[in-house]
Structure 1
Amino acid sequence: MMVIIMDNLIDISIIGYIAGTLTTFASLPQLIKSLKEKDMSNISLTFVITFTTGLSLWLVYGILRNDYPIIVFNILSLMFWIPITYLKIKDTLKKRKLS
């Protein structure tokens, strides 16, 4: 009985790692494009702030649950989205200053 439960937990973790990999690295092309073009106008400030806050809360949740896939992939996602958030805020402030 215990072996079956352990096998199921391993399978569940694999699903978590695959899902985390896909959702985390889906952000990478946007970060590369934004850095390369130095243009953040195609990204909503509200989205960026809400998404980054959500990732931060998922990280806290993962830490509280001691759930490694959630912890690992939210740290990685934040590594992508914190720079995007910084660039978007900087771009927004720059455009408001020019107006």
Structure 2
Amino acid sequence: MLGVVASLWGVVMALAPVLQIHRMIKKRSSADVSLGYFGLLLPGFALWIAYGWTRSDWPLVVPNILAFTVSTVTLTIGLVLRKRDRVKDS
């Protein structure tokens, strides 16, 4: 039961960066978002996915796949917006 509850909360945590995505798109800027933070999280998510996969621990794998995906999207949008801002400022 604890594994299921922890996994469900892991899904909620994995979706939390969607709030940052929404803010970046709304403001058309990623200036107030730490992209390095998301860059540091990605290898950690990948390691937890690999670990969970080797143990067939799906309550560990599923939230981390979701977190990896959402963080990748967040990082990608942030980088695109920053590149656009640099081109616009040039």
Task: Please report the TM-score for the alignment, with normalisation by the length of structure 1.
Answer: 0.70
Question: How far did 1:76 drift?
Answer: 1.4
Matching residue of 1:47? 37
Q: TM-score, normalised by structure 2?
A: 0.75
Deviations 1:24-45 (A, max 9, x none): 1222211222223221111112
- Stretches of structure 2 lacking an aligned partner (at least 5 in a row): none
Give the C-alpha shift of residue 96 in structure 1.
5.1
Larger C-alpha radius of gyration, 1 or 2? 1
- Identical-residue share of aligned pairs (%): 22
Matched residue of 1:66: which SS? Answer: coil
**What is the one-letter code of the residue matched to 2:60?**
I
- Letter of the 2:71 counterpart: W
CA offsets per residue over residues 7-31 of structure 1, 9 Å max, x none? xxxx132232232133112222112
State whether residues 52 and 85 of structure 1, in contact with CA within 8 Å, keep that contact through their aligned partners in structure 2: no
**SS, match of residue 31 in structure 2:** coil
RMSD: 2.1
Deviating 4+ runs (over 6 angstroms): none
